[in-house]
């Protein structure tokens, strides 16, 4: 009785010749294959040379920061309080000024947010620019009748009507530093037809 023929054996992969190959467990190494098995001999895998760097692009020069106006610099030098949180508004202030308007004094003030209160030769104005909100208040000197500063509440109020207990201010902001409130008031007195500051 004859046996059926055995199926042909699957073709075997040709044996790998002995050589250095990437280590199957560590990409940073080469491991020596002796033709039958991996050996314990390893070597650092050479790092390919970096490709040529892209052509250098010309460095982009930052646009020059405009110099601060001289009148604003002088006003800043006279500030006694802290302007933390108000410098953004100080830097934006020139964009809100009229032609030939000069800043005489300024200080940090609180309205709907921390901003700047500025006295100019034309008016008194408050500027706050927040992420969501902004506030711009102004009263020209020819409309201003009275300025009032309360030491108890640290509020600086500007009236366009005769001051009485029932009068409603054109605007009120908080100025924490009495010296800065006085500086604003003295600057206001030097402006044409500016009223005096009452401090209580």
Hey, what are 53's tokens? 């760097």
- Residue limits of CATH 2.30.29 in the chain: 70-199
The answer to whether residues 104 and 135 touch, using CB atoms and an 8 Å cutoff, is no
Confidence (pLDDT) at 194:
52
Question: Percent of the chain at pLDDT above 90?
Answer: 16
CATH code given to domain 70-199: 2.30.29
- The SS3 of residue 23 is coil
Residue 18 CA to residue 36 CA, distance in Å, equals 8
Q: What is the pLDDT of residue 138?
A: 92
Is 24 or 64 the better-scoring residue by pLDDT? Answer: 24
pLDDT at 173 over 90: yes
- Give pLDDT, residue 146: 83
**Positive or negative CA dihedral for 107, 160, 191, 151?**
negative
pLDDT in tens, 6-22: 666 655 555 778 888 88
**The pLDDT value given to residue 9:** 60
pLDDT value of position 183: 84
Instruction: Tell the residue number behind the tokens 């030939």, with chain if given.
Output: 100
pLDDT of 163 reads: 78
Q: Supply the pLDDT for residue 182.
A: 83
pLDDT, tens digit, for every residue of 176-196?
A: 888 888 888 788 877 755 555
Cβ–Cβ under 8 Å, residues 13 and 28: no
Count other C-beta atoms under 10 Å from residue 179's C-beta: 13
pTM > 0.75: no
Model confidence at 145, pLDDT cuts 50, 70, 90, reads confident
Q: Could you tell me the CA-to-CA distances from 21 to 17, 30, 37, 136 in Å, in that order?
A: 11, 5, 12, 73
């Amino acid at each position: 009785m004859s046996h059926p023929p055995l199926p042909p054996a699957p073709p075997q992969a040709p044996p790998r010749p002995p050589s250095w190959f990437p280590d199957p467990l560590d990409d940073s190494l080469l491991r020596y294959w002796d033709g039958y098995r991996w050996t314990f001999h390893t070597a650092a895998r050479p790092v390919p040379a970096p490709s040529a760097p892209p052509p250098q692009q010309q460095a982009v020069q930052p646009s020059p920061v405009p110099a601060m106006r001289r009148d604003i610099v002088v006003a800043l030098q006279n500030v006694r309080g802290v302007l933390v949180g108000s410098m953004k508004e100080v830097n934006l202030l020139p964009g809100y000024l009229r032609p030939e308007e000069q800043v005489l004094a300024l200080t940090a003030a609180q309205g709907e947010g921390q901003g700047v209160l500025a006295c100019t030769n034309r008016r008194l104005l408050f500027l706050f620019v927040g992420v969501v909100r902004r506030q711009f208040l102004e009263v020209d000197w020819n409309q201003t009748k009275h300025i009032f500063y309360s030491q108890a509440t640290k509020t600086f109020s500007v009236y366009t009507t005769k001051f009485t207990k029932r009068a409603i201010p054109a605007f009120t902001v908080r100025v924490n530093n009495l010296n800065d409130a006085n500086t604003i008031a003295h600057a206001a007195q030097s402006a044409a037809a500016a009223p005096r500051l009452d401090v209580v």
